[in-house]
Structure 1
Amino acid sequence: MVNSEPGPAVGPIEAKWPDVRRIAVLRGGGLGDLLFAVPAMAALRGAYPDAEIVLLGTELHRELFAGRPSPVTEVRPLPPYENVHEPAGQPFDEAEQRAWFDALKPVDLAVQLHGGGRNSNPFLRKLEPRYLVGARTPDAAEADRWLPFRYYQHEVLRALEVVGLAGARPVELEPSIVVTDADRAAAAPVLDGLPEPLVVVHPGAGDPRRRWPAERFAEIAAKLAASGRGVVVIGAPDERELVERVAGMAGPPVRPLTSLSMSALVGVLDRCSAFAGNDSGPRHLAAAVGAPTVSVYWMGNVVNAGPLGRSRHRVLISWMSNCPVCGVDCTREDLPRCAHDDSFVATVPVDDVLGELEELLAGR
């Protein structure tokens, strides 16, 4: 039954289920993947205010939510599980998996925000939930209420449409993360001595095809630092080589930061007056804490993961539709990924990115 009450919605808002005390939300993946699910979890909190909401995610997700207000009651890191969570070097252990599922029961409502359901719907069924909602591809097992999975849909809006099937109306359209005093204190030492305004540059991205060339990030960092702005280049420990290369090409006083805790990262992003980067987890976190952003996107990723507004979030789009090496059509979701990692976004000019940054720094 569709809820006929007026209010915002992405798709139908079905009737809420009664007596829902524990909700399990499946969303693995990286930092950006988690943030796309935050508005949906906020909607669930609004619809089921007394329920426990358990996020089935990763240690990274637990680190982000630790010590800060959020819609989530608890984060349970996923066990290694084929085609759902496959951390490098960790074997699948059926006994560990059984113990993990048993420890989570009972679950009243399972919410599948982890793709098209081929593997994630059966995974959640092992929790024996009373109700299951999610998206599904044609070859995936059905949920109690489901919507068709289509690749080209914004991740945040898909998640909101899924929770609408459980009676949850949107309360926010873009992710938001609360910044704490502890975050600001953690950031203070690593930013000591840098002038204001601060610009944060992140040259990385999980998919190398989404990375704007390192030398272009170095060029904008150098020009911003030369004009008296504080500039830091951030990245995870596994991005150290890239970060140090960009900072090295830019030259002093550009500062590389690759050993930040999650709390310090949130604090650094909260301090910045503008963020420059690719379509990446840190870019989405920057926006979620309220920082203005300038981002380089491949056109397909704008559909799935682009910011909705443009007053504080500027997007420079590469319209390349074919692999620059082999020419395969990279817009076709039904074709296998080619073997090449060459950038799809190298066509975006430096002057365009720098121009948008200058506008944001000037308050325009």
Structure 2
Amino acid sequence: MQPDTTAPARPALARPAPDRPASSQPVPGLPELHPRFDDVHEIAVLRGGGIGDLVFALPAIEALAEAYPAARLTLLGSPVHRALLAGRTSGVDEVDVLPVVPGVGDASGTEVDAVATEEFVARHRARRYDLAVQVHGGGRNSNPFLHRLGARHTIGTRTPDAIPLERTIPYVYYQHEVLRALEVVALAGASSSGRPVLSPTRAERGRGAALVGGGPAGTSAGGDGRPVVAIHPGASDPRRRWSADRFGELAARLAHHGVRVVVVGEGDDVALADRVTTVAHERRPSRASLVSSLAGQLDLSGLVGVLASVDAFVGNDSGPRHVAEAVGTATSAVFWFGNVINAGALGRTSHRVAMAFSTSCPVCGVDITQVGWTAERCEHDASVVDGVGLDEVWENTRELLDGVLAGRGTSLPVQEARS
């Protein structure tokens, strides 16, 4: 997808001024806020990657929008970021899609286009940004790219081998991505105590409710009154995928207890979803009608609607899990333990995590705890989370669903209650 070639004129913004003092420290463990920059009217935030990458950056972006209410904020991101934010209220005024730049804007199977990159940089230099924010990794590639935009002030993360920005924090891989981004924007005097939030539109809720079982817009139960659980068996990194057969077994147990299950995903997830439904139907043929797949049938807006309309989500460490949390849905997830630090839900009342504690590749035995910029990964894609047992995920999911339904004054159908 090509980026927009022209930028709309900056509108008069009327964001509310932050109601917390500039010296506040709303998130324990984060440093004191730096002074805010003066006369900031144009802000660029560099954050490429997938759905989850944007979700993690949302609290920091919203904090910047609150701290600089008169500024226009442009996200330099990816096509899925533009799609996810389209028609949705957020701190972002515009999304411009990054060109293919190694380590910054990546697109599988797409060659680097030097001309497109130069045009992109020239267009954004013409914006005369007052503040450019890098929340895209350790800065080895992203910091030089950010400097090319010519902003008056620059902030971001930095590994020891990355060039500096005006204000930086150390990039240490094992830090939660939400807190890392908040620590970055604190360098510009912006703070937030919020979690990532995506507000589904009324149309998304209505479509989602219809897709998961015909319930009225704004409700979570299907039209027949059954609770509904979404299962997503995929993950962008195959090593983070729990067995599709186990997801199928889990779906069968849920159906046995009267729960409707919808499987979601796209691309490679479609085959995984087919396997989930096949296993579930084989294990509980009398409940086959309760387990169905929407994989490959939803655009991003449709996925948001579905995840906002179910009672709980079960899946791997993936973009859909992070979206489910952001729209306010309870989640039960399978994680490699190292990624819990970076991407796991911070609370446990509405979110449960089953962790795999493997430290080496199951094929070649290489240490997998040294990740990111510190070490190259091996070539094997074998799952590192299949050590998590079915019973653990089932208990997490059952307890979570019981709590969600109890909070709504209901429970699993009596005639199908667990034995």
Secondary structure (helix, strand or coil) at the match of 2:250 reads helix
- Of residues 23, 27, 37, the one that matches 1:5 is 23
**1:115-139: per-residue Cα shift (whole Å, max 9, x none)?**
0001101111111000110001111
User: What RMSD in Å do the two structures reach over aligned CA positions?
Assistant: 1.5
**1:160-193: per-residue Cα shift (whole Å, max 9, x none)?**
0000001111241x21101110211332442245
Matching of residue 295 in structure 1 with residue 333 in structure 2? yes
Counterpart code for 1:39: P
Counterpart code for 2:293: P
- Of residues 238, 241, 254, the one that matches 1:224 is 254
- Of residues 43, 46, 51, the one that matches 2:66 is 46
Q: Which residue of 2 aligns with 1:313?
A: 351
| 1:7, distance to aligned residue in structure 2 (A) | 3.3
Secondary structure (helix, strand or coil) at the match of 2:207 reads helix
Distance 1:305 1:244 in 2: 27
Do the aligned residues in 2 keep the contact of 1:62 with 1:75 (CA within 8 Å)? Answer: yes
Do the aligned residues in 1 keep the contact of 2:156 with 2:184 (CA within 8 Å)? Answer: yes
**Structure 1 residues 4 and 255: alpha-carbon distance in aligned structure 2, compared to 1, 3 A threshold:** closer
Q: Which residue of 2 aligns with 1:209?
A: 239
Distance 2:25 2:375 in 1: 39
Q: Which residue of 1 aligns with 2:160?
A: 138
Matching of residue 345 in structure 1 with residue 385 in structure 2? yes
Distance 1:6 1:96 in 2: 42
Where does 1:165-204 land on structure 2 (aligned, <5 Å)?
Answer: 165-172=187-194, 174-192=195-213, 195=224, 196-204=226-234
Runs of 4+ in 1 over 6 A off after TM superposition: none
Q: Which residue of 1 aligns with 2:43?
A: 23
Secondary structure (helix, strand or coil) at the match of 2:342 reads helix
Counterpart code for 1:100: F
Where does 1:246-261 land on structure 2 (aligned, <5 Å)?
Answer: 246-251=276-281, 252-253=288-289, 254-258=291-295, 259-261=297-299
Matching of residue 148 in structure 1 with residue 170 in structure 2? yes
Secondary structure (helix, strand or coil) at the match of 2:160 reads coil
Q: Which residue of 2 aligns with 1:67?
A: 87
Where does the alignment leave 5 or more consecutive residues of structure 2 unmatched? 1-20, 215-221, 282-287, 405-419
| 1:147, distance to aligned residue in structure 2 (A) | 0.9
Secondary structure (helix, strand or coil) at the match of 2:333 reads strand
More moved, 352-361 vs 183-192? 183-192
- Of residues 27, 34, 41, the one that matches 1:14 is 34
**1:66-125: per-residue Cα shift (whole Å, max 9, x none)?**
111111111111111122112123332222222222222221110000000011011111
More moved, 150-159 vs 78-87? 78-87
**1:12-57: per-residue Cα shift (whole Å, max 9, x none)?**
3100001111111011111111111011101101111111111111
| 1:274, distance to aligned residue in structure 2 (A) | 0.9
Distance 2:231 2:326 in 1: 16
**Structure 1 residues 85 and 239: alpha-carbon distance in aligned structure 2, compared to 1, 3 A threshold:** same
> Which TM-score applies when normalising by structure 2?
0.83
Distance 1:210 1:222 in 2: 22
Q: Which residue of 2 aligns with 1:274?
A: 312
Q: Which residue of 1 aligns with 2:409?
A: none
Do the aligned residues in 2 keep the contact of 1:182 with 1:263 (CA within 8 Å)? Answer: no
**Structure 1 residues 123 and 335: alpha-carbon distance in aligned structure 2, compared to 1, 3 A threshold:** closer
Distance 1:353 1:342 in 2: 20
Percentage identity across paired residues of the two chains: 50
Distance 1:339 1:362 in 2: 41
Distance 2:64 2:193 in 1: 9
Distance 2:22 2:306 in 1: 44
Distance 2:160 2:324 in 1: 36
**1:247-301: per-residue Cα shift (whole Å, max 9, x none)?**
1221222111122111111111111111100110000000000000001111100
| 1:349, distance to aligned residue in structure 2 (A) | 1.2
Do the aligned residues in 2 keep the contact of 1:198 with 1:231 (CA within 8 Å)? Answer: yes
| 1:4, distance to aligned residue in structure 2 (A) | 7.2
Counterpart code for 2:198: I
Distance 1:131 1:296 in 2: 40
**Structure 1 residues 335 and 102: alpha-carbon distance in aligned structure 2, compared to 1, 3 A threshold:** closer
| 1:206, distance to aligned residue in structure 2 (A) | 0.9
> Which TM-score applies when normalising by structure 1?
0.95
Where does the alignment leave 5 or more consecutive residues of structure 1 unmatched? none
More moved, 344-353 vs 284-293? 344-353
Secondary structure (helix, strand or coil) at the match of 1:294 reads strand
